[in-house]
Homo-oligomer: A and B are copies of this chain.
Amino acid sequence: MTKLDLEQFLPYRLNRLSAAVSREFQSVYGPHHDLTTPEWRVLATLGQFGESSAKEIGRHSSMHKTKVSRAVRALEMRRWLRRRESEEDRREEILTLTAQGRRAYKDIVPKALDFEQRILRDLGPKAPALLAALARLEDVLLR
């Protein structure tokens, strides 16, 4: 039987790394804004697309609809977004960032991009290869 070394095992390594990156990244938006990851993703999606329904946010951010629902409610209570009933389909609600929400978004985005750049800089010449490999894995595993 071939041996298995857990610390070298790809699913384990990916999982641990992803957790570490998320943890580090939390310290980008955590201290100033106290956001959870689902809240950050809703903010990022709305910031990027302007207005969306919860359904669309779920699609763009790979989040379960209950997660989206709860994150939306949290951001609404913080007055970072507004909901308004859609006129074509009264089941869905159109979500938009408030001025306050847009301010937070614009404050976080550069820090997020900095964080990403810092990681890519750490990787040096290995960075493009990592991105290409991730893209390939996404193709295989997520499409």
**Are the C-beta atoms of B17 and A41 separated by less than 8 Å?**
no
Q: How large is the interface on A (under 10, 10 to 19, 20 to 34, 35 or more residues)?
A: 35 or more
The residue in chain B whose Cβ has the minimal distance to the Cβ of A2 is: B113
Is chain A's interface secondary structure helix, strand, loop, or mixed overall? helix
Q: Within the assembled complex, what's the spacing in Å between the Cα atoms of A95 and B97?
A: 53
The answer, among B12, B41, B137, for a CB contact under 8 Å with A122, is B137
Q: Is residue A84 contacting chain B, with contact meaning CB distance below 8 A?
A: no
Q: Is residue A100 contacting chain B, with contact meaning CB distance below 8 A?
A: no
- For A10, list chain B residues within 8 Å (CB): 21, 116, 119-120
With A11-B25, A14-B14 given, is the CB distance from A4 to B113 under 8 Å? Answer: yes
**Are the C-beta atoms of A16 and B142 separated by less than 8 Å?**
yes
Q: Is residue A69 contacting chain B, with contact meaning CB distance below 8 A?
A: no
Q: Is residue A99 contacting chain B, with contact meaning CB distance below 8 A?
A: no
**Are the C-beta atoms of A133 and B126 separated by less than 8 Å?**
yes
Mask of A38-65 contacts with B, CB within 8 angstroms, 1/0: 0001001101100000000000111000
